């Protein structure tokens, strides 16, 4: 689960990193007004698009065992039984 969260966090932060890298390479980082509301809004939108496309890709490409039913986790006779496919 942590891998999934970190992957989507990386996808969200990727546009910000690319913009900061572009500012650094173009030597425009000395102007704090470059990080105004305009670029931040577009970077946030781009990050959200990447996260949503990543979620859709995971949902479409991740395979579950065919012909098996998922039994969710629960308590049986006072013992925790993890989720499984049967």
Closest CA to 29 of 14, 19, 37, 40: 19
The radius of gyration computed from the CA coordinates of the chain, to the nearest angstrom, equals 21
Burial (CB count <10 Å: 0-12, 13-18, 19+), residue 43:
buried
Please answer whether residues 69 and 86 qualify as being in contact, where contact means their C-beta atoms are separated by less than 8 angstroms: yes
pLDDT tens digit string along 21-77? 887 787 755 566 666 666 888 899 999 999 999 999 988 887 777 788 888 999 999
> How far, in Å, CA of 24 to CA of 27, rounded?
5
List pLDDT tens digits, range 12-23: 999 999 988 887
- pTM over 0.75, yes/no: no
């Amino acid at each position: 689960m942590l891998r999934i969260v970190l992957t989507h966090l990386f996808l969200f932060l990727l546009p910000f990193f690319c913009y900061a890298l572009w500012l650094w390479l173009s030597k425009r980082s000395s102007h704090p007004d470059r990080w105004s509301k305009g670029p931040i809004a577009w970077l946030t939108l781009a990050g959200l698009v990447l996260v949503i496309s990543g979620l859709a890709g995971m949902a479409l490409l991740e395979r579950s065992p065919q012909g098996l039913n998922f039994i969710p986790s629960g308590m049986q006779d006072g013992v925790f039984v993890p989720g499984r496919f049967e």
